[in-house]
Amino acid sequence: MSMEDLYQEIVLEHSKRPRNRRAIPQASHRAKGHNPLCGDEIEVYLKVEDERIVDLSFQGQGCAISTASASLMSESLTGLSLVEARQRFAEMMTLLKDAGVPVDASKWGDLAAVIGVRRYPGRIKCASLAWHALQGALDGRPESTTE
Ligand code: FES
């Protein structure tokens, strides 16, 4: 199986069975992300205790890539400190925007499949939608966009 096929399989699996697609009623942070290109919205919920993310979830309908990215983000950021989560956001944006920056698969795990969409510039906003919502939630902005 080629790397490309493997990445596609990971994205499809997470889009069909998204992890943590639910609200968090006692969320300490929440925000909506909006992709104006297609109109899709994802809302991200965080439960933060002692500056650490103890639960992270999302809701909303989007394409396979935005759903898979939200699902994988929820898995990979739960347990991180707020500082670490902000750092991951910044690194993710750099990796998505600059196809020349190498991806450390041991650090990014299955999220490398989402980062792989940077080969298709039209889908980068899909991959970053949930992440913009996350940043909005961390910054206390209820709405943010991929623009
Ligand atoms: Fe709307 Fe991908 S097509 S987020």
145 in Cβ contact with 35 (< 8 Å) = yes
Atom of ligand 1 nearest to the CA of 123: 2
Pick the CATH number of 3-145 from 3.50.50.60, 3.40.50.12500, 3.90.1010.10, 3.40.50.2300: 3.90.1010.10
User: At residue 103, does pLDDT exceed 90?
Assistant: yes
- The finding on whether 38 has its CB within 6 A of some atom of ligand 1 is yes
Tokens standing for 105? 């698969």
Provide mean pLDDT across the span 45-62: 96
Taking the whole predicted model, whether its pTM rises above 0.85 is answered as: yes
**How confident is the model at residue 61, as a pLDDT?**
83
For 87, phi and psi rounded to 5 degrees?
-65, -40
The amino acid at residue 48 is V
Nearest atom in ligand 1 to 38's CA: 1
H/E stretch holding 19 reads none
Quick: pLDDT tens for 20-51.
999 999 999 999 999 999 999 999 999 999 99
Q: Among 15, 35, 42, name the best residue to mutate to test ligand 1's pocket (greatest count of ligand atoms within 8 A of Cβ).
A: 35
Q: Does ligand 1 lie within 6 Å of residue 126's CB atom?
A: yes
What is residue 48's predicted lDDT score, i.e. its pLDDT? Answer: 98
Q: Is 35 in the pocket of ligand 1 (CB under 6 A)?
A: yes
CB-ligand 1 contact for 65 (6 Å cutoff): yes
C-alpha span between 100 and 85 (Å, rounded): 23
